[in-house]
Chain A
């Protein structure tokens, strides 16, 4: 297995839109937000104004602890911008989040590993990524 290190690469700036602007504003403050529906109680990601589970419009922003564990990942070795690890994190609050794993030895990633959110800069709002804990 090759030792694949995270490259510092340039990420595209989020376009943003009225529905998700609060998420990106919070990201600029280092906060990772999810949405929760106060009608059915379920949290979801990525954020929508209308709950995808019960279709209520009573959804509210909630700051996530930004902690979870790796549900799955794949180390993409054939890439023009260098290897990267894409995967899903299952947050403590429940929802799964698509992400890249960064600031770590990509060849040592494991399903079930504990991870936490880190933000990386773009030309606009920063983007959330995850990195192994400990």
Chain B
């Protein structure tokens, strides 16, 4: 049993807003759902599968009722932080392959700039961790410190990730940060949590995005370019009872190979990669874990513009990514799917469009890389 070629991405929509004081969070979910359905050429009445995560106000039954999704045969609210939407992509394909739904809607939206973030949910670790103040910045900082210690990775190498994102963002009229930055700009910005500087961190934005996943038959009946899912993987990693703690790798070492194996390809075949850039270090570790380079060589891999479309070997996050473009409700997985589909359709900005882009990777992590997290990888193909 495989999901290979059994589900197509028929619709995508990234909300143009980055600051939405005049809208409700539920309204943003509805607007992105409407946008993705219109992009696909489908209607609200066609949706029989719905996927949302922790950003959906109240949860899946509240949101599905609010959206008027009265024909649902399949509901899934798997919550794995920023990679929830990449996991949902795989789960939607599974449901479609099993005949449990035929038009699946995945939504993400939120407004961290204009409202309080929901408090972090703690589990049984609460008494043994909460008092020590783990946050996104210091949890990724801890990974970066150890990566530098073990492999000699430098702040200048990490900075190249931000430089590449900024080169792409200059062409995106919706991007929050459109100015091209240099390595010096990054390493001279203030340190937030060692060794990460302000410019090593992604933006905080209001907004959202949605994706429509459907059957091959329905996708072929529509007027959009055909993009299908050929492989998918998901995994989790945590301190594991404190045994053999190693923060230099992520759950991507499991989700990546699973997705590549199902797709029957290797990293060398990938023409474009969307990789969640919560911080610059996240990208370096993910590139290693996915097999684009050896463990410890990610810093060298990203240097000298290697991630810049038209310049380097691996065009990456050509919308400007979370570092410069958009990072709705601090969850980067959805926008990674959307830009990969744009690339495969040939609808990316001409300045960053990868020629003949027929095979793309989508990958992200969710949670805190230095504490506990999930990862998900998807391989997408233009037919």
Say whether A94 contacts B243, CB under 8 Å: yes
Q: Could you tell me which B residues sit within 8 Å of A by CB distance?
A: 124-135, 137-139, 141-146, 149, 190-196, 239-243, 245, 247, 370-371
Complex Cα gap A27–B9 (Å): 55
Q: List 27 A-B contacts (CB under 8 A).
A: A12-B131, A14-B131, A42-B241, A44-B242, A46-B127, A46-B129, A46-B242, A72-B143, A72-B370, A73-B145, A74-B138, A74-B141, A74-B142, A74-B145, A74-B194, A77-B191, A77-B192, A78-B137, A79-B133, A84-B132, A84-B133, A86-B133, A88-B142, A95-B241, A96-B245, A98-B129, A98-B134
User: Considering only CB atoms, which chain A residue lies closest to B135 in the complex?
Assistant: A76
B141: chain A residues within 8 A (beta carbon) = 74-76
Contact of A86 with B134 at beta-carbon distance under 8 Å, contacts A72-B142, A78-B192 already known: yes
Say whether B245 contacts A90, CB under 8 Å: yes
Q: Could you tell me which A residues sit within 8 Å of B by CB distance?
A: 11-12, 14-16, 19-20, 24, 42-46, 48, 52-53, 71-79, 84, 86-88, 90-91, 94-100, 111, 122, 127
**Could you tell me the distance in whole angstroms from the C-beta of B247 to the nearest C-beta in chain A?**
6
Say whether B142 contacts A73, CB under 8 Å: yes
**Could you tell me the distance in whole angstroms from the C-beta of A79 to the nearest C-beta in chain B?**
7
Interface contact tally, CB-CB below 8 A:
116
Say whether A53 contacts B241, CB under 8 Å: yes
Contact of A72 with B133 at beta-carbon distance under 8 Å, contacts A45-B242, A96-B239 already known: no
Complex Cα gap A88–B134 (Å): 11
Partner of A76, one of B133, B149, B239, B240: B133
Say whether A99 contacts B241, CB under 8 Å: no
Complex Cα gap A75–B124 (Å): 25
Say whether B132 contacts A86, CB under 8 Å: yes
User: Considering only CB atoms, which chain B residue lies closest to A84 in the complex?
Assistant: B133
Contact of A76 with B241 at beta-carbon distance under 8 Å, contacts A14-B127, A15-B127, A99-B132 already known: no
Partner of B128, one of A11, A46, A90, A111: A46
User: Considering only CB atoms, which chain B residue lies closest to A127 in the complex?
Assistant: B131
**Could you tell me the distance in whole angstroms from the C-beta of A40 to the nearest C-beta in chain B?**
11
Partner of A77, one of B124, B139, B146, B193: B193
A42: chain B residues within 8 A (beta carbon) = 241, 243
User: Considering only CB atoms, which chain B residue lies closest to A37 in the complex?
Assistant: B241
A73: chain B residues within 8 A (beta carbon) = 142, 145, 194
In the A-B complex, the 7 residue pairs with the closest CB atoms: A95-B242, A74-B141, A44-B241, A96-B245, A46-B128, A14-B127, A72-B146
Contact of A86 with B245 at beta-carbon distance under 8 Å, contacts A76-B193, A78-B193 already known: no
Say whether A95 contacts B131, CB under 8 Å: no
Say whether A98 contacts B191, CB under 8 Å: no
Interface contacts beyond A74-B195, A96-B242: sample of 15 additional A-B pairs, CB < 8 Å, sorted by A: A15-B126, A46-B124, A46-B127, A52-B240, A53-B243, A71-B247, A73-B142, A74-B196, A75-B141, A76-B141, A76-B192, A86-B133, A88-B247, A96-B239, A100-B132
Contact of A98 with B145 at beta-carbon distance under 8 Å, contacts A76-B138, A90-B245 already known: no
User: Considering only CB atoms, which chain A residue lies closest to B144 in the complex?
Assistant: A74
B243: chain A residues within 8 A (beta carbon) = 42, 44, 53, 94-96
Contact of A87 with B142 at beta-carbon distance under 8 Å, contacts A44-B242, A111-B149 already known: yes
User: Considering only CB atoms, which chain B residue lies closest to A111 in the complex?
Assistant: B149
Contact of A98 with B138 at beta-carbon distance under 8 Å, contacts A45-B242, A73-B145 already known: no
Complex Cα gap A103–B190 (Å): 25
Complex Cα gap A127–B296 (Å): 35
Complex Cα gap A20–B127 (Å): 9
User: Considering only CB atoms, which chain A residue lies closest to B125 in the complex?
Assistant: A46
